[in-house]
Structure formats: structure tokens, C-alpha cells
Amino acid sequence: MLPVKSLFSNVVLHYKTVFGYFRTWCKSGVLQQIWFGLLNKYRASLDMSSVDLDGSHTPALRGGEQVAYQGRKKRKTTNALYLTDRQGIPLAISDPIEGNHNDLHQIKERFTDIIDSLNNSDIRVDGLFLNADAGFDSAEFREFCSSHEIIPNIAINWRNAAHTDDIFFDELLYQQRYCIERTNAWMDSFRSLLNRFDVTCSSWQSFNLIAFIVILLKKITKQKKSR
């Protein structure tokens, strides 16, 4: 699928050569550094008036690392957290975990992955409004966000007996959360992401980053054409 002739030469590359380089870049973090660089370059085009957080269970058709049976999907899945800006542009993905865990499992460690990604792109997190659904409603996560000066706008889980009436929740802001659902649909248009075929987490995360790059560049190109 690579446009080899127009970019390089008439020599046909063997798929093993292509995948060999891809795996090298996965292990060395090249694609991650490219993503950090692009986010930093186009920071002015991001809308950080609020951000959206969501978890996703991806069916793992061939098994592999960080895979376990998820009852709701009735198959083996991998769970990861995604963060987008107000436009739905992907910003970060957490390290994946087995699909038999909910979104709050190891939430501090996983959300730290996301914060670190933003910091590596020179994007500040203090003062951010964070939208998240009721699956993230916990005192631990709210306190962790506050410790990083992030304002959590998390839907209240009414089954959580520990909730109090003084929890901040802006319903109008929360209604804008549809943006990340739209981003999930964009991500599902990539065959390698709709279902996970890669047995290694590094390959699967790298394919996510490639999708991030494509979505960002399409958005930036569209913005430039509209001016």
C-alpha cells in the first residue's frame, strides 16, 4: 500500500522489509517522538478549552500481550484510555491493559501516561477542563486530577453511594463530550484499530499513533484550506 514508486524508485519492497523497519521504530519509540513533535508544532491549532477522556475495549483477534476475556464484548479485548481536544483531535493514549479490567483500574498510572505525553509535547495540563463519563466517577480519580490542577467534569454515577452534592459538574460542558465518540468512529475506520491483529502492545500502540498523525494532518490541512 506504500507509494514506493512515486517516493523512492521502481524497486518493489518486500513486506518483511517494511514490517522490519516498522518494528524497529516501535521498539525505539520513533513514532512516539514524531507524534510529540507534531503536537508541539501544531499546538496553536488545538482547542484546549476542554478535553475529553474515554476508555476503549478493542477485540484482540490473535491474542497477545495485555489481552483478557471481557464479558460485555464476549471476547478477548485490550483496554486503553484516549484523550482528545475539543475538536476531537487525538492527543494521547495510555499504555494498554487486559480487557477484563474497567476504565478505573490503575487509573493513576494510566492517566499519568497521558499527562506525560502532553508534557513531552510542551502542552500544559494545569487549568484543563476534563470531560469523562460516569465510568470514571471516583473520589480517587477526582483527587488525582485536582493534584495536577485539572478540573474534572465527570458524570455522576448514581450507584456510587460515596458521591456528595458538592461535586462540580457542568452538564452543558459535558454535552460536548460527543466529540470523543466521533473520534472513536474515526479510529474505527482504520482496520488495524477496529480489531487488534498485533500480538505486541508496541505495534498496536504505534498503529494508534499513525492514526493520530493522519487525523491531525487532515484536520490541519482542512483548516489551512478554509483560510
**How large is the average pLDDT for residues 207-224?**
92
> CA-CA distance, 93 to 210, in Å (whole number)?
12
Q: Which of 7-21, 75-89, 185-199 has the lowest mean pLDDT?
A: 7-21
What pLDDT, in 10s, does the model give residues 125-163? 999 999 999 999 998 999 999 999 999 999 988 777 555
Instruction: Specify if 112 maps to a domain.
Output: yes
Q: Considering the domain boundaries, does residue 72 fall inside one? A: yes
The reply to whether 2 falls in a domain is no
Whether residue 186 lies inside any domain: the answer is: yes
Task: List pLDDT tens digits, range 161-170.
Answer: 555 667 888 9
Distance CA 94, CA 85 (A): 15
Quote the CA–CA distance of 118 and 113 in Å, as a whole number. Answer: 9
Which is nearest to 205 in space by CA: 114, 105, 135? Answer: 114
Q: Structural domain of residue 64, as residue ranges? A: 25-226
Burial class for 141, CB neighbours closer than 10 Å (0-12, 13-18, 19+): buried
Task: Classify residue 153: in a domain, yes or no.
Answer: yes
- Any domain includes 8: no
Q: Taking a C-beta distance cutoff of 8 angstroms, is the pair 94, 53 a contact?
A: no
Cβ contacts of 88 within 8 Å, gap of 6 or more: 52, 179, 180, 182, 183, 186
Sign of torsion over alpha carbons 10, 14, 19, 20 = negative
With respect to residue 148, please indicate whether it lies within any of the assigned structural domains: yes
Strand positions, DSSP E, the chain: 51-59, 68-70, 75-84, 90-93, 97-98, 129-132, 151-154
Question: What mean pLDDT, rounded, does the chain reach?
Answer: 91
Query: What pLDDT was estimated at residue 161?
Result: 55
CATH at 163: 3.30.420.10
Closest CA to 220 of 37, 39, 52: 39
